[in-house]
Structure 1
Amino acid sequence: MIDNFLRPAGSAFQTVADALRLLGVLSVVSALLFHGVTDAAIVAFALPGLMLPRFLGMRAWADVAVSATLLVAAWSNVVDLYRTVWWWDIPIHFFLAGALSVVAYVFCAHRGIVRAPGARGFTVTGAVVLTTAFGLALGAMWEMVEWFGYAYLADEIYVTYEDTVGDLAAGGLGALLAGVLMARGPELLLPAATLPARPAPAYRHR
C-alpha cells in the first residue's frame, strides 16, 4: 500500500486527485484560521478518507470522485449549507456513503478480511450486502459525531430525528448502488495490476 501512495502521478486525473489531497490539508489550516477549532476538526475528519484511495491504488477517476465528495461534504458543514439548504445533506449522504463504503470494502480486501473484487470466491451478493452495511455503519458513526458535537461543543449543529433517519436512508441507498457498481465492474475502480488474476479456462484433451 505504501508503494501506491509514494508512486508519482501517472495521469492528469491522478494529479488532480493529489491536488485535492493537498487542498484537504490546507483546508484544515484555513478552517482553523477563519472558522475556529470545531470547523477545523470537521475538515480534519475527512483527511483519512482523502488518503486511502491513493494507498489502495484505486483508479484516478475514482480517487478524484471520493476526494471531491469528501471535501464538498466537509466544507458544506463549515459554510452551513446543511442548515440553509434543507435538502443539501440528502445527496451528500448518498454520494459520500457510496464512495466511502467502496473504499472500506477495498481496504478490507487489501487486508485479506474479505474477498477482493474478481477473486475466486467473490460474490456480487456478498459484496453488495457488505458495502451496504459499511455505508449504514459509517452513516451511524457520523450521526453520533454530530450528536456529540451538538450536545457538548456547539448547539448550532443541526440535529433532528427526521434529519438523522433521512441521512441514514440516503447513505444506505448510496452504499447499496455503489456496491453493485463495484461488484459488477471492479475494473472501473481498480487498475488491472491490483485485481486478482482470473484463472485460465481449463481445456480437456481429446
Structure 2
Amino acid sequence: MLRLLGLLIVPAAGAVAGWPSAAAMFLVFGGQWLLRWLAGGSLLDWTGQVLLLAAGWASAIGLYHRIEGLDLVMHAAVTGVVTGLVAVVVRSALRRRGRTGGPVTPAEAVRTLGPVICVLGLAAAGTALGVVWEVAEWWGHHEVTEEIGVGYDDTLGDLTADLVGAVTAAVVAVASVHSVRQGAR
C-alpha cells in the first residue's frame, strides 16, 4: 500500500508544486522499491518507506519552510535509512564472497575489522551519499529552479544532520551484528 501511495503521490506533487517536486517524488518511489528489493518486509523497509514519503511530501507542500528544524530531522532520519541500506548491501556482498571462496559473515567482518572501523565505514558511506544529495540540490537550484533552497547554512546543517543519522544507523547495524555474534557463543 505504501508503494502504491508513493506512485500516486508523484502526479499529486507535480500538481501541487510543479514538475521538480514530481521528479523528487519519483525518486522517493524508486527508493521505496529499492527498500523492497534489498530489505523487503523488514523494519527498515517499512520505516524507510514512511520516512521517504514524509520527506518527499513535506517538500512538495512546503513544510520545511514553515516548520523550523524539520529539514534537519528528516535529513538525519532518511540518511539513517540510507545507511541501513548500505549495511544490507555490505552484508549481502560479504555473504557472496569470502577470502577463501566461502561466505564471510557480518560477525566475522566485525570481529576482523573491529566495530569502530565498521561503524566509521558505514557512516562514511551514508554521509557520502548525503553529500551527493547536497550536490544534486545545488545543481537543481542553479539549473532547474531557485525554489530549491540552498545556501551555506542550509547545506552545512543538512550535512551535519546526515552525519548524525549515518553514525546512529551505523552503530545500530554494527551493534545488531555484535549482539547476534554474542548470542551465538
For Structure 1 versus Structure 2, the TM-score category normalised by the shorter chain is 0.7 to 0.9
d(CA) in 2 for partners of 1:142, 1:105: 19
Aligned 8 A contact 2:39 2:88 in 1: no
Name the structure 1 match of 2:78: 96
- Aligned partner of 2:139 among 145, 148, 164: 148
2:67 is matched by which residue type in structure 1? V
Aligned 8 A contact 2:16 2:61 in 1: no
DSSP-derived class of the 1:111 partner: helix
- Count the aligned residue pairs: 175
* Structure with greater proportional helix content: 2
Q: CA deviation at 1:61?
A: 2.3
- Aligned partner of 2:108 among 120, 139, 145: 120
Moved more, 112-121 or 126-135: 112-121
2:134 is matched by which residue type in structure 1? E
In the superposition, the TM-score normalised over structure 1's length comes to: 0.74
Residues 132-171 of structure 1 deviation map (CA, whole Å, 9 limit, x = unaligned): 1122111111111111111111112211101111110111
d(CA) in 1 for partners of 2:156, 2:18: 29
In the superposition, the TM-score normalised over structure 2's length comes to: 0.82
Aligned 8 A contact 2:91 2:106 in 1: no
Structure exhibiting the larger radius of gyration computed from Cα positions = 1
d(CA) in 2 for partners of 1:184, 1:58: 21
Distance 1:72 1:30, change over 3 A: same
Q: Unmatched 5+ residue regions in structure 1?
A: 1-18, 189-194, 202-206
Name the structure 2 match of 1:32: 14
DSSP-derived class of the 2:108 partner: coil
- Displaced runs of 4 or more, over 3 A: 111-119
1:44 is matched by which residue type in structure 2? F
Name the Cα RMSD after superposition: 2.8
Counting only pairs closer than 5 Å after superposition, residues 14-163 of structure 1 correspond to structure 2 as: 19-112=1-94, 118-122=106-110, 123-163=114-154
2:148 is matched by which residue type in structure 1? I
Q: Unmatched 5+ residue regions in structure 2?
A: 99-103
